[in-house]
Amino acid sequence: MRKPIIAGNWKMHYTVEEAVKVAKELKGLVKGASADVVICAPFIQLPALVAELKGSNVKVGAQNMHFEEKGAYTGEISPGMLEALGVDYVVIGHSERRQYFNETDGDINKKLKKAFKHSLTPILCVGESLEQREAGTTEEVIRAQVVKDLEGLSADEAKEVVIAYEPIWAIGTGKTATSEQANETIAAIRKMVADIFGAEVADAVRIQYGGSVKPSTIKEQMAMSDIDGALVGGASLLADDFAKIVNFGV
C-alpha cells in the first residue's frame, strides 16, 4: 500500500511572518492525518517553518536547489544548506522552473541525484502543455522527461522519488484535469517507471496529481486507482483549505 502524500507549493507567496502564522494554524488542523503532509516554501521561510513545525506531522520542503555543493553561483542555494536546516523534501523540475528559468532535464537529473546524497526526498514534476495534449503527444513528452530525469538512479532511490504529474494547462487556471484523465496519465507514468526499474519500484513509487486541486476535487481524485496524493498551489495558501485537502475533502 502506498501512503498518500499531500504537498503544498506556496510558490512566491508570503513574508516569513505570514508563513509562520499559516503553519501554526495548519499543524493544529492536520494532526492525525492519514497522509504525509509537506509544505514547500520560499527559501527564506524555511528556517522559521522548520522551527515552527518541529514535532508536528507537517514536513518542510524547498521549491528548488542547485546541483552543485558550493561555489560561485550567485543567488543559488545548495543541497547541503537545505539538509543542514532540517528540510526533508525538495521540489525538482517544476514546470515554472522549466519554463521561466530554462531548467533542462539534464539539470533536473543532476538535482535528483544530489537530493539523495543529502537525505532530501525529491518531488519531481512532469507534465505536458496544452498544445502537446491537443497534438496527442502527452505520453511521449512525459516519457522523455521521466527517462531523462530518473537516469542513473538506483532502484532504491527511484522508489523514494515522489513524482508529481502536473499538466501545465491545469496549473493556476482553474481547469482541473478530470480525475479519469489524471489517473490515466498517472497510470501511464507508473508503466514508464516499470519499464525502467521494474514492477516492484513502479508499485512502490508515489505519484501525485497537481493542477487546480481544491477541497472540492480531492475526494474524487484520491478515490482513483493510481493517484497517490496531490501537489497543491493556490489552495495550499490558506490553512483551512489546505487542511481540507489533506483530510481528503472533509
Ligand X SMILES: O=C(CO)COP(=O)(O)O
Among residue numbers 5 through 24, which ones bind ligand X (CB under 6 A)?
Answer: 9
d(C-alpha 223, C-alpha 248), whole Å: 10
Among residue numbers 173 through 232, which ones bind ligand X (CB under 6 A)?
Answer: 210-213, 231-232
Active-site pick, 96, 103, 128, 166: 166
Q: Is 234 in the site for ligand X (CB under 6 A)?
A: yes
Spatial neighbors of 148 by CB under 8 A, at least 6 apart, are: 105, 106, 108, 109
How many residues at the interface with ligand X, by CB under 6 A?
14
Q: Is 25 exposed, middle or buried (0-12, 13-18, 19+ CB in 10 A)?
A: middle
* Cβ neighbours, 10 Å, residue 215: 19
Active-site pick, 66, 94, 96, 103: 94
Q: What is the DSSP string of 181-242?
A: HHHHHHHHHHHHHHHHH-HHHHHH-EEEEESS--TTTHHHHHTSSS--EEEESGGGSSHHHH
Q: Which is nearer to ligand X, 229 or 234 (CB)?
A: 234
Among residue numbers 83 through 102, which ones bind ligand X (CB under 6 A)?
Answer: 94
Q: For ligand X, which residue has the nearest CB?
A: 233
Residues 139-168, mask of contacts with ligand X (x by CB under 6 A) = ---------------------------x--
d(C-alpha 6, C-alpha 21), whole Å: 20
Q: Is 42 in the site for ligand X (CB under 6 A)?
A: no
Q: Is 121 in the site for ligand X (CB under 6 A)?
A: no
* CA proximity to 53, closest of 72, 68, 35, 40: 40
Q: Which is nearer to ligand X, 45 or 212 (CB)?
A: 212
Q: Is 61 in the site for ligand X (CB under 6 A)?
A: no
| Residue 220 is among the residues annotated as catalytic for this protein | no
3-state SS, residue 134: helix
Q: Which is nearer to ligand X, 126 or 193 (CB)?
A: 126
d(C-alpha 35, C-alpha 30), whole Å: 9
| Residue 166 is among the residues annotated as catalytic for this protein | yes
Rounded to the nearest whole angstrom, what is the least distance from the CB of residue 195 to ligand X in the complex? 26
Q: Is 172 in the site for ligand X (CB under 6 A)?
A: yes
Summarize as ranges the residues that interact with ligand X (CB under 6 A). Answer: 9, 94, 166, 171-172, 210-213, 231-235
Residues catalogued as catalytic: 94, 166
